[in-house]
Structure 1
Amino acid sequence: MNWVAALPMYNVTPALALDWRALLDHVHQSLRPWLDARGDTLALADPEPSLQECWLRDDLLLSQTCGYPLVRALAGRVQPVTTPVFTVDGCEAGDYHSVLVARAAANVTSLAQCRGLRAAYNTPDSNSGMNLLRSAVAPLASGQPFFASVIETGGHLASLQALQDDRADVAAIDCVSFAFVLDHLPDLAHGLVEIGTTRSAPGLPLIASKRVPPEGIDALVSALADAVEHDRPLAKRLKLHGFARRPLDDYSSILEIEMDAVKRGYPRLA
């Protein structure tokens, strides 16, 4: 089998993209005995324009998705491998949350004060940018539209840019992405204030095709752990503490977050 691997989710800058690829290089080296014994190969690929097409490839040995697609569009079609544990506050045991950020010019200090303002979110299938934001707004909305307008931007960096360009006032940003932004793209956070955080959820899982056998999953878990252990400078740049094998059932909490908003009469971000 000619396998492929790509890590598309936290390539916040070109330098970080190279670091994630370096992590895959380490994994590739550790996997060579398993690959050679099977007569298999592994190619490190650039993320495809369509993430869902990438995630659903039969030859996918390793990639990363959001927990929301994992339990919806990808449910039963891929298998989880492990979940990164980041050194960012709130990411213990492989959890994460979103940071609520607003334009300082909006003069708000809480999400409740954002009623009637403009919101930006990355994509409809994002847990961090949409689902967690919807969950935070639902108790405040009383079943009615909460924001004056809502725009889809296509990504967290684009949502932050929308705030910078005065096209939106508030957004929910994955806390790991925001930590990378503060370190590497501080201008994108200039003039913004943190007004809170969302509830926690299981972090973005690493996944594989259903065709990867159980011993392949075990080999991947071991290779990832070895990569972090043996290249601590790389792990530090990627804010990686290690990995946690979260059962798939853990991710059902993301659907519970969705259903709670629906039960509160707030089925879509508005």
Structure 2
Amino acid sequence: MTWIAALPMYNVTPALDAAWREWLGDVLRRVKPACRIVEPDEELHGFWRRPNLLISQTCGYPFVHGLHEQVQLIATPHFDAPGCEGAHYSSVLVTRAEAQFDTLAACQGARAAYNQDDSNSGMNVFRHAVAPLSRAGSFFSSVLRTGSHLGSLRAVADGRADVAAIDCVTYAFMCDELPELAGQVRPIGMTAPSPGLPLIASSTVPPATIQALREALGEALTSQPERAKRLRLQGFSVLPPSDYERIEQLESEARAAGYARLA
């Protein structure tokens, strides 16, 4: 079997993508199975389920909604970004720099943007934050699905939307890599925290290789401190899969408040 690997989640710019690929290559050189770094050639839900997947990163929402039954959790990164605490993260609620909104409550009747229906950071925690403010299952005048966090940031910046929830790690990388875009938006709050994006492997990967990957993550982190600083990586935790039930809890709380979807 030819093993494959990819980190598709935090590639805010081509230069940052190259840094992630360099770090991943360093990790893979420290484990025994030969492995190719690839660009996912299919929709990510299918890619994450491939039997020859040695390491990748997924969002916690699809992980708890079925993916956890077909993969193994390797580790969850710790990021040096406002809104992160250990292996947990929040989303930044953002509006345009010149907008009059100062709180999420002030955004009633405004236009929202979000990345994907199956995103914890862009949809699920956003829905949870809005739920207590909603009335009869509604809060915004319109909702725009953009396809990515960068798409949501650009929608807010160029006036197609008024507010969005952005993974705080993505937001930090935007500030690092895209200062012009960062200057067009501003934060107005944070969402509730939940476990961060897990590194996963196929269920076919042997336990000894999972352990080797965990050791390699730490070794690759400390071998080049400047690279780790650019990637905002501080360490890793091996969380029990049950910790990710927090994501379902946030979903259930929003539904219990009568707010089943962003609206």
User: TM-score scaled to structure 2, two decimals?
Assistant: 0.97
**Is the 8 Å Cα contact of residues 83 and 91 (structure 2) preserved in structure 1?**
no
Separation in 1 of the partners of 2:219 and 2:98? Answer: 46
Identity %: 52
Which stretch of structure 1 is more off in the superposition, 201-210 or 19-28?
Answer: 19-28
Secondary structure of the structure 1 residue equivalent to 2:54: strand
Alignment partner, residue 190 of structure 1: 183
Structure 1 residue runs of 5 or longer lacking an equivalent are 36-40
Separation in 1 of the partners of 2:219 and 2:160? Answer: 44
Residue 260 (structure 1) aligned with residue 253 (structure 2): yes
**Is the 8 Å Cα contact of residues 7 and 47 (structure 1) preserved in structure 2?**
no
Letter in 1 for 2:51: D
**Is the 8 Å Cα contact of residues 137 and 260 (structure 2) preserved in structure 1?**
no
Alignment partner, residue 26 of structure 2: 26
Q: Deviations over 1:148-184 (max 9, x none)?
A: 0000000000001111221100000000000000111
Separation in 1 of the partners of 2:83 and 2:12? Answer: 20
Q: Deviations over 1:32-88 (max 9, x none)?
A: xx32xxxxx211112334111210111000000000010014130111100010111
Q: Deviations over 1:113-169 (max 9, x none)?
A: 000000000000000000010000000103331000000000000001111221100
Alignment partner, residue 64 of structure 2: 71
Secondary structure of the structure 2 residue equivalent to 1:113: helix
Letter in 2 for 1:99: V
The structure with the greater share of residues assigned to helix is: 1
Secondary structure of the structure 1 residue equivalent to 2:124: helix
**Runs of 4+ in structure 1 displaced over 4 angstroms?**
none
Residue 123 (structure 1) aligned with residue 97 (structure 2): no
Alignment partner, residue 51 of structure 1: 44
Alignment partner, residue 203 of structure 1: 196
> Number of residues paired by the alignment?
263
Secondary structure of the structure 2 residue equivalent to 1:120: strand
Letter in 2 for 1:131: N
**Is the 8 Å Cα contact of residues 121 and 151 (structure 1) preserved in structure 2?**
yes
User: TM-score scaled to structure 1, two decimals?
Assistant: 0.95
1:97: Cα distance to partner? 0.4
Alignment partner, residue 11 of structure 2: 11
Over aligned residues, Cα RMSD in angstroms?
1.1
Structure 2 residue runs of 5 or longer lacking an equivalent are none
Separation in 2 of the partners of 1:159 and 1:181? Answer: 12
Separation in 2 of the partners of 1:124 and 1:174? Answer: 14
- Once the two structures are superposed, the pairs formed by residues 105-254 of structure 1 within 5 Å of their partners are 105-254=98-247
